[in-house]
Structures are given as C-alpha cells and as structure tokens.
Structure 1
Amino acid sequence: MKGNRFNRSDSLLKIILIYAVLIVACICSVYPILNILTISLRPANALFSKSLSIIPANATLDNFRQAFIQYDMLNWLIHSLIVSSCACVFSVLVSVTAGYGFSRFEFKGKKMGLSLILVTQMFPLAMTLLPLYLLIINLKMTNSYFALAVIYVSTSIPFNIWMMKGYFDTIPKSLEESAYVDGASIFRSFYQIILPLAKPSVALTALFSFMGAWSEYIVASVIINEAGKITLPVGLVSMQGQFSTAWGIYSAGALITAVPVMILFISLSKYLVGGLTVGSVKG
C-alpha cells in the first residue's frame, strides 16, 4: 500500500487478506468493550441474559449510579487523577529535556547513559517493588501520592527518553543553527522552534505516561494502604467480593475508568495523527 491507497499491482487476494486481518483485529478489540457495556446496562436480575443485543431492552443506568453510591468511586477518580496528572507532567518535563540533551549534545558518558537507561527497561516493576517499598518506608513516605508519582515517573521516563531522542534526531540541526545566527539562545531555540515541531512525540509521551499511571495496580496497592487514599485500580479490585461480585456495578466502574483516558486521547489526537515519522520540514 502507498499512503491510504492500494497499488494497482496488488492482487485481489492480498487486498482481501489485509481487510480480513483488520476486521478480525477490530472485532477482537471491540468485542470485550461492547460486552462490558452490555453488562453495565443490564439490571442485576438480568445479568446473564442470553440476548445478543448490545443495548438490552431493559437497559438502565442504575449500575452507574450505584457505583458512586455504594462505593467511593468519586474519590478514587480524584486520587487517580492527581497521581496520574503529576506523573504525566513530570515525566514529560524530564523526558523532553533529557531526550533533547542526548540528541543534541556530545558529552562524556553519553553512550553509557543511553545504554543504562535501556537496561532499566529489562527489569519488571514487580522486581524492584521491594527495594522501592523499603526506601519509601525509610523516607517515611508511605501512603504518599508524591511517592507513588515518583515511582511512576521513574518507570516511564526510560522509554520516553529514547522515544524523544529518536524524534529530536529527525529534526535538522540547521534550524537551531539559523536561530543561533539570529541571536537566539539555546533555551529560546528549543522552546520556540524545536519543541513545537516535536508536538506529536510530546503528545505520545504524555499519553503513555498518563495511561501507565492511571491503570497501574500493583505498586499502588503496596504503597497506598490507607482506605481513604486508594486509587481507582485498587478500588475496582476491592469491588470484587470473596463469594460474589456485583458484575453490573463492576462493569460500570470499568467503563467510568476508561473515560479520562478517552478524553485525553481525543484531546491529543490532532497531534498524534501526524505520527512519529513525519519530517519536521516536510511540505
């Protein structure tokens, strides 16, 4: 394919296979979401109905109301928004500036630094959970949103730094050199020339950072153990009963959880459309 069109030389079989794969992938992605939506709209006494309709005939929003009445859903949302927003902001600031430094400047230990950053991605977060928890205890920062946000930032910036560096490498240095000739400083050329060109990569960094912190459960369940401070993923797990679970309310809570991420994705979509491969001087 070239752009959004098929080449004339593409056979009919190839086109059919491509569309078949795309359709199957879409079905696999959308079906669980539609299933959760259907369950959340069903009343408690009709949870396991055999109807295949997405919107059941007796649809009700009672499960969404009960999610806020029976559980502390609103506070869970606020707590997660605070932690995820802080983690997103600090991760973007660190990743953008560090990525620019690794891309534009030569200094001793540059290659080793990039390699060490990459090595940190080889270890799962659960492996480092114990030393991080002991460190937080020694710093007397348990049940602290700041400590939780710092952990999320430290786990997201290695990948984000590499991504930002790769994007900055595609931006010609001649743009900055022209700014220097006109009397602009390094900081001015960065914020007024380079950073606007890197909006797609910055938007993707922000999205990854927010989503990683928003949906994380293991660290949040260990660091925050005070009932009044738990985040949304921990709260959703607490909705599961030992012997029975109100799956309608649980499904409604899961859909509510997806709303902030959807809003962020839609807000950043105009920057993400260009992708990470668009040249800075294209057109």
Structure 2
Amino acid sequence: MKEKMERTNKISVSVVLLTIILVIQVLLVLYPLAFTISASFSDSNSLASTSIVPFKHKFSIYQYQRLFKESNYFHWYLNTLIIATSNMFITVFVCSLCGYIFSRFTFPFRKPIMASMIILQMFPSFIGMIATYVILWKLNALNTLWGLVLVYSTGSIPFNSWLMKGYFDTIPHDIAEAAYIDGATPLGAFIKVVVPAAKPQIIFLALTSFTGPWMDFIFPRLVLRTDSKKTLAVGLYEMINGRAADHFTMFAAGALLVAIPFTFLFVLGQKSLLQSLASTGGKE
C-alpha cells in the first residue's frame, strides 16, 4: 500500500511538472502573437507607449486606418497575392505533369535529367542571384511582378517535380491502365483518374507554392524599385526601417493582416494536408 502511494505521488509530481512546462511553452508561443494583436488595435502611434500586458488599452482600429491611408499597403497586398497565386498555379501545373512523366514514362536521358534536377537543388539560391538579376535585366523584367513569378516558378520545378514523382510512384498503375482500356488518352487518364488520386499531395504542393513567395524578402528587395510594385515583405520592412518610431503599431496591424490568406488556405486544405503528410497514397 505504501509503495502504491509513493508511486502515485511520483506520478502526480511528474504530471504537475509537465503541465507547468507545457503552460510556459504555450505562453512563450502565444504572448508575442497576443502582443502583436493588441498593438495593432492600439490608438497609440508609439510602441513604447503600449502596455506589456496585452489588451489593456482601449480598443481602436486607428492603426488599420493609418495603414491604408498613409501607405500603399493595399497595392503591396495585391502585388503579393498576384505573385503567390500565379506561382501556385504554375508550379502545380508544371510540376504535376513533370512528376507524372518521370514516374510513368521512359525516354532518352530520363535518369540524367532527374539527376541534374537533384544536383541543382544542392546549390543555394544565393549563388545564382546575380545571374538571375542579369537575365531579368536582359528580359526587361526588373521591377515587374511577372519577373518574380518567372523566378519563383522556375526555381521550384526541380524539387517539386521530384516530390510529385515520389507520390505518383505510390499510386497503382492499374487505375491508369483501366482508363486506357476505356479509351482514355494518357493525358485524359492523368486528369480524370491520377489527379484525383493525388489530390492530397497536389493540395500540399499548392499550399507550399503559395506560402513560399508570400513573405520572401531578399529577391523582391533586389528586383523591385517603385513603391507601387513592392511586396508585403519589402513594404513592411521599409515602413519601420530608418523612420520615426511612430510606425511600429501600424506595422503590427499590417503584419496581422498578412496571416489571413495562410489561415484561410490551411483551414480549407487541412484534411488533404494531413493525408499528404501521413502518406496515405496507395501502394502497388
């Protein structure tokens, strides 16, 4: 009986310690978010005047009014949305086709091409940044949105094509062959049969392709010049860089609005995303 009580006491102490640790971790994660939300709804322009205790001050949408009146935030948001959406559609279309071709068809130089795609991913993107800048300059694509879309979509092809190939390898060949028997072409079988079977991975690819350029800073900072062409990352950075300290609460409002597309997309694709991460595709 005594041993049982001692064991119960040890378990209780362990549970209490684990609970304390988890609570501390949750506070460390949620406090910056709560502080940002609180600062964005503050009527004070100075971050120093805001309370370290979130939601202690009077609720106000003044910073959101300043954000859209005193900056080109709407244009930055629209530019970033156009770039991210375009990159998402191009990447999903091209990489899905490439992955399926590499998975199901044999042709000359197939393996060397696949190996070269892997080798390309071994080098950091910074190495080719100057060459990419020169190419965009020659194409008159500097300070343009389509120039960024071109760079993002082409740069994502090697890795994402391999990603899709690996998933297509897990899908049984029988379903496509059954479509061939019914008179479908290879493209028709791909669209009508294989794509629905690969829906979780395609949604995962769409989400990652959208989020990749959404808050990228380095390359837009290098390419874009005029204020109307800037993306969210560049615009928000310059909002608080080298200026008076009365833009930080407005910056908090802009940073909070950045999360809206992420939340919307992940809520819509949560089920398919979990299926993709759990690798629920069929195997031969």
**Aligning the two structures, in what range does the TM-score lie when normalised by the shorter sequence?**
0.7 to 0.9
Aligned identity (percent) is: 31
Q: What secondary structure, in the 3-state scheme, does the structure 2 residue paired with 1:275 have? A: helix
The 8 Å contact of residues 143 and 224 in structure 1, kept in 2 or not, is answered as yes
Aligned pairs (5 A) from 1:130-209:
130-209=130-209
Instruction: Return closer, same or farther for 1:190/1:210 CA change in 2, 3 Å cut-off.
Output: same
Q: Whole-Å Cα distance in 1 between the matches of residues 178 and 140 of structure 2?
A: 50
* Cα offset, 1:271, TM superposition: 2.0
Q: Whole-Å Cα distance in 2 between the matches of residues 25 and 67 of structure 1?
A: 32
Q: Whole-Å Cα distance in 2 between the matches of residues 111 and 15 of structure 1?
A: 54
The 8 Å contact of residues 45 and 248 in structure 2, kept in 1 or not, is answered as no
Q: Which residue of 2 aligns with 1:6?
A: none
Q: Which residue of 1 aligns with 2:276?
A: 275
* Cα offset, 1:225, TM superposition: 0.9
**Equivalent AA in structure 2 for residue 247 of structure 1:** F
RMSD: 2.7
* Cα offset, 1:19, TM superposition: 8.1
Instruction: Return closer, same or farther for 1:264/1:279 CA change in 2, 3 Å cut-off.
Output: closer
**Equivalent AA in structure 2 for residue 252 of structure 1:** A
Q: Whole-Å Cα distance in 2 between the matches of residues 264 and 93 of structure 1?
A: 18
* Cα offset, 1:84, TM superposition: 1.2
Q: Whole-Å Cα distance in 1 between the matches of residues 269 and 259 of structure 2?
A: 16
Instruction: Return closer, same or farther for 1:46/1:279 CA change in 2, 3 Å cut-off.
Output: closer
* Cα offset, 1:15, TM superposition: 9.3
The 8 Å contact of residues 171 and 279 in structure 1, kept in 2 or not, is answered as no
* Cα offset, 1:106, TM superposition: 1.8
Q: Which residue of 1 aligns with 2:260?
A: 259
Q: Which residue of 2 aligns with 1:62?
A: 62
**Equivalent AA in structure 1 for residue 122 of structure 2:** M
The 8 Å contact of residues 216 and 233 in structure 1, kept in 2 or not, is answered as yes
Q: Which residue of 2 aligns with 1:77?
A: 77
**Equivalent AA in structure 1 for residue 261 of structure 2:** P
* Cα offset, 1:27, TM superposition: 4.9
Deviations 1:54-96 (A, max 9, x none): 3234122211121111111111111111111111111111110
140-149 or 88-97: which moved more? 140-149
* Cα offset, 1:110, TM superposition: 2.2
Instruction: Return closer, same or farther for 1:230/1:51 CA change in 2, 3 Å cut-off.
Output: closer
Deviations 1:194-229 (A, max 9, x none): 101111111111111111111111111121112221
Q: Whole-Å Cα distance in 1 between the matches of residues 272 and 161 of structure 2?
A: 19
Q: Whole-Å Cα distance in 1 between the matches of residues 132 and 46 of structure 2?
A: 45
Q: Whole-Å Cα distance in 1 between the matches of residues 205 and 55 of structure 2?
A: 36
The 8 Å contact of residues 35 and 52 in structure 2, kept in 1 or not, is answered as no
Q: Whole-Å Cα distance in 1 between the matches of residues 98 and 201 of structure 2?
A: 14
Q: Whole-Å Cα distance in 2 between the matches of residues 67 and 49 of structure 1?
A: 19
Q: Does residue 1:114 correspond to 2:114, yes or no?
A: yes
Q: Which residue of 2 aligns with 1:237?
A: 237
Instruction: Return closer, same or farther for 1:170/1:281 CA change in 2, 3 Å cut-off.
Output: closer
Gapped regions of structure 2 (runs ≥ 5): 1-10
Runs of 4+ in 1 over 4 A off after TM superposition: 11-29, 49-53
Q: Whole-Å Cα distance in 2 between the matches of residues 112 and 19 of structure 1?
A: 53
Q: Whole-Å Cα distance in 2 between the matches of residues 173 and 13 of structure 1?
A: 55
Instruction: Return closer, same or farther for 1:227/1:268 CA change in 2, 3 Å cut-off.
Output: same
Q: Whole-Å Cα distance in 2 between the matches of residues 146 and 46 of structure 1?
A: 37
**Equivalent AA in structure 2 for residue 253 of structure 1:** G
The 8 Å contact of residues 167 and 276 in structure 1, kept in 2 or not, is answered as no
Q: Which residue of 2 aligns with 1:226?
A: 226
Q: What secondary structure, in the 3-state scheme, does the structure 1 residue paired with 2:240 have? A: coil
Q: Which residue of 2 aligns with 1:7?
A: none
The 8 Å contact of residues 126 and 218 in structure 1, kept in 2 or not, is answered as no
Give TM-score, length-normalised by structure 1.
0.85
The 8 Å contact of residues 35 and 53 in structure 2, kept in 1 or not, is answered as no
Q: What secondary structure, in the 3-state scheme, does the structure 2 residue paired with 1:60 have? A: coil
The 8 Å contact of residues 42 and 56 in structure 1, kept in 2 or not, is answered as no
Q: Which residue of 2 aligns with 1:128?
A: 128
Instruction: Return closer, same or farther for 1:112/1:24 CA change in 2, 3 Å cut-off.
Output: farther
